[in-house]
Each structure stands twice: as C-alpha cells, then as structure tokens.
Structure 1
C-alpha cells in the first residue's frame, strides 16, 4: 500500500453503532449463502467488539473494510463459529477469522493486506498463537502472500461451499507503522 493511501485511512476498533454498516458491507462482499446475517453481525459487534478491526476512509467517514473473528483454544474452524458468538473465549490462543471484507471501490490498493497485517500484529500483542480462516480456492494464493499456510480442505461447509483452511502462526515480530498505530488504539 502506498504512503499516500496509507494516510487516507484510519485503522481502529469497531464502535457499537457501526454494526449496521458492517452488516451492509458483509452483504455486498459475500453471496447470501456465505454472508453473516445482520442479526448475527449485530450480536458479534455487541459481544466481541475487540475482535473487529475496521478501516475508515478519513475523507468520507465510511468504513472501507473490516476483519472480524472469535478467539478460542480450538484448532479447527467449524461452522458453529459463524453462528454462535458464545464460542468466544477472551483468553483463547487462536483466532478464527470469520470475515475479511473490503468494499469493491477500495479493492486493489493493498487494503486487505494492510488490514491483515495490522490484525496479525494486534492479536500477536494480545498473546494469540495463530490465526485460522477458511477461503475458496481462488483466494488461497492471496492468503499465502499474507503469510498463511494452506492446511487443505476444511471441515467447514459454511454456505454449502468447499473451503481451504489456512493458518498463520503468530511468532514474534516487529509491527509495521499501521499495525503499531492500531495497537496503540487497544
């Protein structure tokens, strides 16, 4: 991401009143069979706001993208994580990433990579050991570039799809400028 684009965005935790906006972004970014329902998005924002990272376009105040997940000690992302925010364990060593969303008009500028790097560094600072996500075959190469390993086909069949399960181990590292800024936000 260029420095010019970098200063255009604010990386921060979600605010309670942004649940509706993130639900709409989810609806735009995912087909209906894969998207989080508005009700579930509201519940996630209410119960686990600390597991969200939003990126806001400073010029418009609009959320350009976000990541959300649940921490747990489980090692495999199963469908129940998408449906039950009560599976959240604040002390969990792993994070099941439930969504990486970037609005179409903000794609292809490196925003997803910056969000992911920031999220990885924040969760590393929170003592997490790994991030786990599922993705379609077409996204495997993208996540590999972000430091994820392909574990093969997932046990999840969320939305009636066949998913690859990807894992990123969170060893010690030095946060980048964006990650450092977001970490300071808590």
Structure 2
C-alpha cells in the first residue's frame, strides 16, 4: 500500500539515494539542494512510502512565472499560501518500484494540493523521451525550454488548473 506524505528532514539520505539512482550526476539534486527544499518548501515536497520505506518523491517550489528557469535549482523561496505556479523540479521513483503507478500517484497528489491552494498551473521541464508520459497526465508541450540544466535539451510542459 503506497502512502504519500510531506517530506521530513529524516528522509534526506533515502531521497538523495533515489535521486542519484534516477538521474545523472549532472541532473540530480544535491544533498544540499534537498536540505534546502525540505527546510523551505516542505508544503510542496512529497514522498511515497511503502511499508515505511521511501520509494519515490516529487518536489518543487511555487513560482511567479509559467515556466521554470535554471536559477530555481539553487534559488528557492517559501511558497505563497495561494496562487502562483506550482513547479516540479524532481519526480523520481526507485528503479525497483518503477512501472507500478507510483509516479502517477505522486503527480495526482501534487495536483490535488495545488488545486486546493488555487495555483494557476503545474509546470515542469522534461527530456523528449518523457513528453508522451506527461501528455497522458494532461500536460501540454510548450516546446523547448531555455533551460541548460546539466547540458541537456528540456521541454516546457504545463498543466492548467481550472
């Protein structure tokens, strides 16, 4: 049974481990970045647990613009209580638990929370191979992002929240 809850500082080591299993060294959030996100935006940082073990995570600050820019990876602020754009900086599921719908559950949970807080949309960047995955979840491809994160090509994906 998968349980989704807000992050706690005690989760840090497991989160870093999952992040590094799912992303390249250049793409992955650092331990310091996670510490900062846990401290500043615990209200938009969720973990998926199975039998008390963390198997996935989703996180991102609420921002003032519809699209993500690279300074977000190092520079985040406390979330406003309502409004703004919910960003997703990271969505990762431990490889042993992938293909079980956990990422979808995390996306739905974040969306539900964003709706309750009257966010305008959810915004993220992804690589080309993940565009179809996010489209299946109601996101629209808004073309190439200006992001140069990890030297990769990223696409802006956005889901309006009516």
Tell me if both proteins adopt one fold, taking TM over 0.5 as the criterion.
Answer: yes
Return the offset for 1:89: 3.8
Tell me the number of residue pairs that the alignment of Structure 1 and Structure 2 aligns. Answer: 161
Instruction: Identify the residue that residue 56 of structure 1 maps to in structure 2.
Output: 49
Return the offset for 1:16: 2.1
Counterpart mapping for 1:106-185 below 5 A: 106-171=97-162
Return the offset for 1:49: 0.8
What's the CA shift string for 1:133-152, capped at 9, x where partnerless?
00000000000001100000
| Matched position secondary structure for 1:21 | helix
Matched, 1:32 2:22: no
Matched, 1:13 2:38: no
Q: Measure, in 1, the Cα distance between the counterparts of 2:20 and 2:108.
A: 24
Matched, 1:90 2:80: yes
Q: Is there any run of 5+ residues in structure 1 with no aligned partner, and where?
A: 1-7, 172-186
What's the CA shift string for 1:83-113, capped at 9, x where partnerless?
1123x44245101210001010111111111
Instruction: Identify the residue that residue 66 of structure 1 maps to in structure 2.
Output: 57
Higher Cα Rg, which structure = 1
Matched, 1:105 2:65: no
Q: TM-score, normalised by structure 1?
A: 0.83
CA RMSD of aligned residues (A): 1.1
What's the CA shift string for 1:134-172, capped at 9, x where partnerless?
00000000000011000000011101000011001112x
